[in-house]
Amino acid sequence: MDIRKYNREAWDRSVDEGNEFTIPVSSEIIQAARLGDWRICLTQMLPVPRDWFPENLEGLDILCLASGGGQQGPVLAAAGANVTILDNSPKQLAQDRMVADRDGLELRTIEGDMADLSMFQKESFDIIVNPVSNVFAPHVLPIWYECYHVLRYGGVLMTGFMNPVYYLFDLPLLEDKGVLKVKYKLPYSDLTSTTEEERQQYLEKGWPLEFSHSLDEQIGGQLKVGFVLTGFFEDHDPRSEIREYMPVYIATRAVKIKDSFSSFKV
């Protein structure tokens, strides 16, 4: 299966269905951002701490990675940054262009794969903003390497991702009967961890395919390519009954510094 193509079409359908992660921000939020009152999310509920960003974004080059939908990118552009948004879904990118046209913003949109940033020059960006998205990619280490490559020294990678423990459980059983039961081994994949019946249900409903990634890959992977972690928080999913047991989201802030050591080999 061409996973990238399948998930592109799945996210295009999500835009048509009004998924919450495809709903653009309002003109009121853009106007407030122009006046210096802004915030974005990498996860579900908690905004990114303001001190993860420089005090002034004016003139900074920011890559919103796998971040279409008219949310983070337009806000950062309204706050003064030079924003490029890369996403796998054309319809998600169209949401960003809609906000830009509606509110008179300048930003650039590119359809592409978050694991291949070869269209950018080395050291092109000051900040990369990557909301929860690598759950839709089968491998994450190439993503961290690409981010490291296109960030300038002193540049910051802010990313959100799923706690892999989330994928251990039978979530439909939890939602339907309130029973928390371990069902799957890690690493989890919608393609290989599920039964044929479950897999067909995913494909028939057109849901994006998801893949769990270990903390060794998520956090250790960032360190492996040369980043230094400087921030961390967890967040809950208000839509799921699992919120009663654990936070499911993790966000990290990492910096590319000149004396960091990368053990990653292409």
List pLDDT tens digits, range 126-169.
999 999 999 999 999 999 999 999 999 999 999 999 999 999 99
> Is cis: bond before 208, omega within 30 of 0?
no
| 262 is a domain residue | no
pLDDT at 69: 98
Residue 155's domain comprises 3-163+212-256
pLDDT at 137: 98
pLDDT at 36: 97
pLDDT at 245: 94
pLDDT at 130: 98
| 84 is a domain residue | yes
CB of 101 closer than 8 Å to CB of 125: no
CATH number at residue 68: 3.40.50.150
State both tokens at 230.
Answer: 């400087």
Q: What angle do CA 174, 179, 184 make, to 5 degrees?
A: 70
pLDDT at 202: 84
How many domains does the structure of the chain reveal?
Answer: 1
Parts of the chain with a pLDDT under 70: 259-266
| 68 is a domain residue | yes
| 89 is a domain residue | yes
User: In a 10 Å sphere around its CB, with 0-12 CB exposed, 13-18 middle and 19+ buried, how is residue 131 labelled?
Assistant: buried
pLDDT at 263: 61
For residue 107, list its beta bridge partners: 83
pLDDT at 54: 97
| 201 is a domain residue | no
pLDDT at 260: 64
| 248 is a domain residue | yes
pLDDT at 259: 67
| 96 is a domain residue | yes
How far apart (Å, rounded) are the C-alpha atoms in residues 140 and 137? 7
| 21 is a domain residue | yes
